Amino acid sequence: MEAISTGTFDTETFVKGKGAWLYDKQNKAYFDGTSGSGAVSLGHQHPYVTRAIISQAGKLSHTGCKLGSDIREKLAQKIVSMCHYQDGAALFTVTGSEAVEAALKVARAYTGRKTIVHCKYAYHGKTSGSLSLTWRESFKKYSNLKNNNYLSIDLPDADANDEEQKSHIKNINEQFTKLSLKNDCPAAIVIEPIRVTEGLLSLNKQFLEDLINTAHAFNCIVIFDEIYIGLGRCGQLFYADHLIAKPDLILIGKTLGNGMPISLIVGEKKIINSLPNGIQTSTYSGNPICCAAAYASLEVIEKERLWEKAQVLETEFYEFLSKAARKYKFMSNIRAHGALFSFTCVTHDGNPFPVLASQFKKNALDKGLILFSGGFNESIVKLAPPVLMTLREKSQFKYLIKETLRSINVIISDIENGI
């Protein structure tokens, strides 16, 4: 029996997947509106990726982290070529949290400093370093974290006016200056351009530009955590492609392996290679099967121009959800960024409604739709379908959302009255 901590949805065990669907032991189909926690952007069991995995498994399945393979070399060259760095390098890791941990080591090695700046409502993982950057305190309850070398900063809403954004930049600049005067200038700032876990909270692009430039003025490394949003899901190949000012390191995962455990840090070689040999190793980093899956995924992403498909989904589903919100008044604050969507559940007087968001997730599951709820106010419903969907899958996704909305509308007064 599995531990409670890693517990799963209250459904039958899933035995197979295809495209946007998962199937349980009774062969009941569930639309995966989470894309396997954001990882299977190409859909479950994408045939090209699956064939690459099977082929590699028949040739070379494991070498250990210190022995290379031809597919590992090919993947490193390919991912670097897809990024904006002039003389780039890739550092292999296995999970998103491990990529964050390794990036902090790189930043500290390159700058010779210790302090790491992180942002309100961020989520970067649940290992000690990544957890120290994560906003949600409940995740930290049983971890003995020493936060002396971490600084949290507040960020403005995406729709904040120019004056508010300039005020935030001024405050951040003052914080950096005070640290600098104490000879404790930060090594790095870690940024999620879109904070997915806490509700799809985005940042104004000009603010991000100013934040990057402010950090660089203090010779502070800028790290973009694009583990969830990168490789097309956000509507660009990388979110950094939106910007003139660029991050020094980009963290990549999830979509990279389309379900296989692999992550990477990409950045300028002079920065990444400041970390000495042997300091960051992990038994399964650069695993040949995972590298084969990742290489195949990148080929599909480029061939399908996945970022363009995400842009189409953004427009289509923003309109769909906005139309629904005009009918169902418990829906508020519709957000759409590429193939990521969310809305806030509210009471009749407009206050966040955590119980309703939780009930929405339960009702959706009963209908055969898997999605997430929660966010910084526990009232946000989050949708992250595969970016590659057939017309029929998109139609079925919309139908399941509509059916869930109808089912909630019937009982909402009882929920508000606590019945």
**Using CA atoms in the order 361, 365, 368, 369, what is the torsion angle rounded to 10 degrees?**
30
Report how far apart, in Å, the C-alpha atoms of 32 and of each of 195, 314, 369, 397 are.
Answer: 21, 18, 6, 9
412 located within any domain: yes
| 320 close to 343: Cβ distance less than 8 angstroms | no
| 342 close to 335: Cβ distance less than 8 angstroms | yes
Last residue of a domain, one of 280, 304, 328: 304
Stated pTM of the model = 0.93
* 224, β-bridge pairs: 191, 250
Question: Looking at residue 368, which CATH number applies to its domain?
Answer: 3.90.1150.10
**270 and 387 part of one domain:** no
The per-residue pLDDT for 131 is 67
* 265, β-bridge pairs: 91, 251
Could you list the residue range(s) of the whole structural domain that residue 237 is in? 47-304
User: What's the rounded Cα separation, in Å, for the pair 173 and 190?
Assistant: 16
41 located within any domain: no
Instruction: Please state the length of the chain.
Output: 419
The per-residue pLDDT for 17 is 98
**105 and 14 part of one domain:** no
Q: Which two tokens stand for residue 263?
A: 């992550």
In 15-95, which ranges are continuous DSSP H helix? 35-38, 47-57, 70-82
> What percentage of the chain carries pLDDT values higher than 70?
95
pLDDT tens, residue by residue, 347-385: 999 999 999 999 999 999 999 999 999 999 999 999 999
123 confidence band (pLDDT: 50, 70, 90): confident
**266 and 387 part of one domain:** no
- Among 200-204, 247-251, 331-335, which stretch is predicted with the lowest mean pLDDT? 200-204
